Structure 1
Amino acid sequence: MEKRPRKTPAERARAQYTNYAVREPMELMDFLAAKMPDASRTKLKSLLSKRVVFVDNVITTQFNFPLQPGMKVQISKQKGKKEFNNRLLKIVYEDAYIIVVEKMQGLLSVNTERQKERTAYTILNEYVQRSGRQFRVYIVHRLDRDTSGLMMFAKDEKTQRTLRDNWHEIVTDRRYVAVVEGSMEKDYDTVVSWLTDKTLYVSSSEYDDGGSKSITHYRTIKRANGYSLV
C-alpha cells in the first residue's frame, strides 16, 4: 500500500483556513457577505465574535474594518471557539505568536504557592485550548494584582524566550497613571527606594537593605476633591 507523503507544517497550517484575497476596497462585513452569500449577517457576526476571522494573519472582530487591495482574509476551520468575554480581562491584540490583554485591577497575573485561584494565565489557557488542540500560553511578564494595564503572553516557547531574553531592550520605559489620596505637595519629584521581591510580594524600603534600587519620577497631573492624579 502506497503511503501518502506527509504534509509540511506550512501545508498543514494552510489547510486550517479558508483563504480569500482582497481585490478592491470595502469593509470586512461586506467582503464576508460577498464571499459567503448563503450566510446570514447573524452568522457572519458570529464568526467575528468567535475570533476565527483573520486579516493579514491578525484576528479581527471589527465588522467595519477597512480592507484594501492586496490584503488577505482567512477564516479558521477550527471548531468550538466561543466569544471571549471576561469582566477582568480583555483581549486587545492577537496573532499567531502573541496575545496582548488588558488586565483589570483585582486579577492576579499567575498563581502563587500561597494563592490558588483564577488568574489571567488560567483564563487565557482555557481560551486557547477551546480549539481542541494542545495549545497553551506562556508567561512573559507579570503585573501586580492591584495594577491594571497591558500584559503580553506568548503562544510558543521560542517566542517566550525571545521576549524574555530581550525584555529590557524591548521595554525601556514603564509609565503608570495613579489616583492617590490627598493633595500632592509638589508638581513633580523623584522617589528613590529599594525593592525586595519575596515570592511576588514586593516590599519597599527608603534605605539600602540589599534590595534592588528603584527610581520613580512622578508628575502631578491634577488635584481635586481630596485626591491627586499622578
Structure 2
Amino acid sequence: MKEIEVIITREQNRERLDKLLLPVEADWSRTQIQNLMKQELILVNGEAVKSNYKASEGDVITIKIPDPEVYDIEAEDLQLEIVYEDADVAVINKPKGMVVHPAPGHLTGTLVNGLMHQIKDLSGINGIMRPGIVHRIDKDTSGLLMVAKNDKAHQSLVDQLVAKSVTRKYTALVHGHIAHDKGTVDAPIGRDTRDRQSMNVVDKGKHAVTHFEVRERFGAYTLVECRLETGRTHQIRVHMKFIGHPLVGDPKYGQKKTMDIGGQALHAGVLGFIHPSSGEYLEFEVPLPEPFEQLLSELKKN
C-alpha cells in the first residue's frame, strides 16, 4: 500500500478536501477520493473526517492508496478480425462496443481477451492487463489498432507514436454544416476541471493537433476525415466539440439531442507505420462498419 503525505498551505486554506486532493493522482475523481475517506484511508492529523471537510493551513493529510488488484485474464474466442499478422506485429479491426483491455468492471470480452486466444505471442511491456497493446481507441469507436508481438516491436511502435510518424485517419460524422473544406484544430487537452471523468481543451493541457477534411455534407450533418498528429485521450471527440461540431451519437461530448446509435459515429479506417524489423512502411484500410454505412445512406435519402 502506497502512502502519501500532504501538508495544507495558506493558499489551500478552507478548500474542500475532496476537491483539493484531485491533483495528487492524475486519474482520481472526487468520488474515488470520497470513497477513500469513507474507508478511513485518508486521515487529517491522524483522524478520519467527512468528505465535505474544509482544510486548514498546517493540516497534515495522510493518504493510503491500496495496491491495485491482480486479476487472472482469460483467453476468449471472440473471433477478432486480424487484418495483418507476422512475427512482430498484428493489425486488428476492433468492432464498436468492445473495450480494448481489461479493467475493473470489464474483465471479459475485451480485445485483449480475444488476442490471447488468437495470437500466440504478445509483448509484455504494458504488463499482464495490456499484453501487446501499443495504443487504444475508445470502446464505441471501431477500427484499426496495431498490436506488438514482442517487446522490441512494441518499443519501435511506441517510438513512432512519440515521433508522430504513425498514420491514423478516422471517419467521423459530426453535427452542423462545416462550410470550409479542411482545417486544423491545435488546442491543448487535459482533464476537465469540472468533470474528472471527461477531457476538455484547457490552458495547461497536453499539446494536441487534429487535421480534418470534409468528405460529404448532409444539411445539418457533415462527414469528415480526421488525421491525428497527436494521440490524446478522446482527442477527436474533444476537438470537434471545441469547434462547435460534436460527433453524432457521442454520449459524453455530443449534443443533448443527438442520434441514439450506441455511441459516437467514429471509425479508425486507416493505419500506417514502419515495420519494426523490415523498415518497410505498411498501411492498412478497412471500410466503415455496416451500421455506419446505413446511417449515411439514410441521411442521403433525407
Q: 2:173 aligns with which of 179, 187, 191?
A: 179
Percent identity among equivalent residues?
32
Corresponding residue for 2:132? 138
Amino acid at match of 1:146: D
Q: Find the residue that maps to 2:116 and give its secondary structure.
A: helix
TM-score normalised by length of structure 2: 0.39
Q: Does 1:152 align with 2:130?
A: no
Corresponding residue for 1:222? 216
CA-to-aligned-CA distance 1:193-220 (integer Å, 9 cap, x gap): 322269xx65022x41x21121222222
Q: 2:83 aligns with which of 63, 88, 92?
A: 92
Q: Find the residue that maps to 1:118 and give its secondary structure.
A: coil
Q: Give distance in 2, aligned partners of 1:180 and 1:97.
A: 36
Q: Give distance in 1, aligned partners of 2:160 and 2:182.
A: 31
Contact 1:91/1:102 (CA < 8 Å) preserved in 2? yes
Q: Give distance in 1, aligned partners of 2:185 and 2:171.
A: 15
Are the structure 2 counterparts of residues 221 and 98 from structure 1 closer, same or farther at C-alpha, using a change threshold of 3 Å?
same
Contact 2:186/2:210 (CA < 8 Å) preserved in 1? yes
Are the structure 2 counterparts of residues 114 and 211 from structure 1 closer, same or farther at C-alpha, using a change threshold of 3 Å?
farther
Q: 2:98 aligns with which of 107, 124, 127?
A: 107
Q: Give distance in 2, aligned partners of 1:160 and 1:215.
A: 24
Are the structure 2 counterparts of residues 194 and 90 from structure 1 closer, same or farther at C-alpha, using a change threshold of 3 Å?
same
Are the structure 2 counterparts of residues 115 and 202 from structure 1 closer, same or farther at C-alpha, using a change threshold of 3 Å?
farther
Q: Does 1:204 align with 2:195?
A: no
Q: Give distance in 2, aligned partners of 1:127 and 1:95.
A: 13
C-alpha displacement of 1:107: 1.4
Amino acid at match of 1:220: V
Q: Give distance in 2, aligned partners of 1:151 and 1:182.
A: 29
Q: Find the residue that maps to 1:213 and give its secondary structure.
A: coil
Contact 2:99/2:106 (CA < 8 Å) preserved in 1? no
Contact 2:78/2:114 (CA < 8 Å) preserved in 1? no
List gaps (5 residues or longer) in structure 1.
1-83, 130-134
Amino acid at match of 1:141: H
Amino acid at match of 1:186: H
Q: Give distance in 2, aligned partners of 1:114 and 1:193.
A: 32
C-alpha displacement of 1:225: 5.3
CA-to-aligned-CA distance 1:49-93 (integer Å, 9 cap, x gap): xxxxxxxxxxxxxxxxxxxxxxxxxxxxxxxxxxx863xx31011
Q: Find the residue that maps to 2:169 and give its secondary structure.
A: coil
Q: Give distance in 1, aligned partners of 2:199 and 2:155.
A: 28
Corresponding residue for 2:111? 120
Q: Give distance in 2, aligned partners of 1:188 and 1:106.
A: 29
Contact 2:214/2:222 (CA < 8 Å) preserved in 1? yes
TM-score normalised by length of structure 1: 0.50
C-alpha displacement of 1:114: 5.2
Q: 1:190 aligns with which of 184, 190, 204?
A: 184
Q: When the two structures are aligned, how many residues end up with a matched partner?
A: 137
Q: Give distance in 2, aligned partners of 1:141 and 1:193.
A: 21
Contact 2:91/2:146 (CA < 8 Å) preserved in 1? yes
Q: Compute the RMSD of aligned alpha carbons.
A: 2.9
CA-to-aligned-CA distance 1:7-38 (integer Å, 9 cap, x gap): xxxxxxxxxxxxxxxxxxxxxxxxxxxxxxxx
Q: Give distance in 2, aligned partners of 1:197 and 1:142.
A: 18
Q: Find the residue that maps to 1:116 and give its secondary structure.
A: coil
C-alpha displacement of 1:123: 0.7
Q: Give distance in 2, aligned partners of 1:203 and 1:192.
A: 15
In the TM superposition, what are the counterparts of 1:4-153 in structure 2 within 5 Å? 86=79, 89-113=80-104, 115-128=106-119, 135-136=121-122, 137-153=131-147
Are the structure 2 counterparts of residues 95 and 202 from structure 1 closer, same or farther at C-alpha, using a change threshold of 3 Å?
farther
